[in-house]
Amino acid sequence: MEKWRNKVVCISGGNSGCGLNIIKELLKHKLIIVCLDLKDDEIKKIKCENLHSIICDITDDASLISAFNWIEKKFKSVDILINNAGMTNCLGILDNKMSIDELRRCMNVNFLAGLHCIKLSFQLMNKYDNFCIIIQINSVAGHQVIDMGSCKLGMYSTSKHAITATTELLRLELNQINNKKVRVTNISPGLIDTSLFTTSNLSKEIVESIKNKMEKLETQDIADTVVYVLSQPYRIHINDIILRATGSTF
């Protein structure tokens, strides 16, 4: 991790859950962190001069561009992009409660906003001859369609499959332009013990049933996996890591 000391990390959705744990872990290794999120109350509790927070709606183009303009002015570039922001949608696509606006919101938050972050980051990365990496916090739902009965994850799986395809497409595009300095990696965890389910459109009873019956990863597991990816020598390009809690049923 020494090679990343004082390098600049941009992470979306870092004010809670996996993102917050990733930030705490990377700060131990002396990286400079810029967190993009709608809130920063948890970030403010961390007293560290290497941690910066920008209130940003990553689904809003103007807000996101403004954030990256600030990063460029302050640090010139981004060395590590971690697309972590996401939302859980637990309605079936054919469910009458699933409006077109809700479909669009799920794709915007989980996929399109991250794609915009990648484009803005690469514009900065491409200006300098530095080793960089793009890490997508994906999901096992990006590799299989998950249906847990009362919890329909069809649209969530759709958005996560888009991330899986995009990561592979980026790898191929980087090869085509002979760019060996930028790598792109998926980290695809199974069920994690975070607030994503409690902030979804599921009833409290269903959430408790899922959380009590299924084996779950901890947010620290994802933070440790990020450190593992970053710890690899530049000659190694990890494309995807799928991790599940032991005994997980999907």
Give the residue ranges of DSSP H helices in 78-218. 100-107, 113-125, 154-176, 204-213
C-alpha 60, offset from chain centre: 17
The structure tokens 């790598």 sit at: 183
Give the span between the Cα atoms of 144 and 146, in whole angstroms.
Answer: 6
Query: Within 13 A of 112's CA, how many CA atoms are on the CB side?
Result: 11
For the chain, the residue count is 250
Q: What CATH superfamily is the domain 2-242?
A: NAD(P)-binding Rossmann-like Domain (3.40.50.720)
Domain ranges in the chain are: 2-242
pLDDT attached to residue 92: 75
Mean pLDDT in residue range 130-153: 86
Give the span between the Cα atoms of 175 and 58, in whole angstroms.
Answer: 28
pLDDT attached to residue 7: 98
Q: How confident is the model at residue 121 (pLDDT cuts 50, 70, 90)?
A: very high
Higher-scoring residue by pLDDT: 76, 213: 76
